[in-house]
Amino acid sequence: METAGLDNWLTPGTVTRDQAGSQSTIDLALALYSLREQIIAYEVDDSVHAESDYLPILTLLEINVLEAVDTIKRRNWKAIDVEKFLTFASANLSVMRLPEEPTPREIDYAVNYLLDIVQQAA
């Protein structure tokens, strides 16, 4: 159990089986050490006993769910004014000139510049 990072969360000696007056701790409640701070309750719950020799074990953890990150703004390319887009893009792209044999750094710069112009034009 220790090798796997697991621990028995039930109090030692907790009765988990009750058959005809014979009580025993036959079930273990194993969980990761890292969840220890999130535990609210880990105990036998007699209120939901359902005609079984085995007693139900209540497990209640506090789980913090991260809020959804704002979605990325997406363009509606079908609704674009093509003439305005082409006019803006043409005017701004004519400024960009690449050498005959560009370096990888110059290519990266040109691609980023192109993406910026397209985003601004849209």
Pair (89, 116) in one structural domain: yes
Pair (10, 49) in one structural domain: yes
Pair (81, 56) in one structural domain: no
- Written as one string, the DSSP assignment of 35-50 is GGGGEEEEEE-GGG--
Pair (86, 48) in one structural domain: no
pTM passes above 0.75: no
Average pLDDT, the chain: 81
Q: Taking a C-beta distance cutoff of 8 angstroms, is the pair 84, 120 a contact?
A: no
Residue 49 is predicted with a pLDDT of: 66
Closest by CA to 57, choosing from 21, 16, 18, 26, is 16
Pairing outcome for strands 22-24 and 30-32: unpaired
- For 21-58, b/e burial (b = at least 16 CB within 10 A) is eeeeeebebebeeeeeeeeeebbbeeeeeeeeeebbbe
User: pLDDT, tens digit, for every residue of 104-119?
Assistant: 998 898 889 888 888 8
Question: How many separate domains does the chain show?
Answer: 2
User: pLDDT, tens digit, for every residue of 1-58?
Assistant: 778 888 877 778 788 787 777 888 777 778 788 887 888 887 888 787 677 778 788 8
State the residue range of the domain holding 33.
Answer: 6-61
Q: Is the pLDDT of residue 79 over 80?
A: yes
In a domain, 90, yes or no: yes
In a domain, 68, yes or no: no
Token pair 């609704």 in the structure block, residue: 79
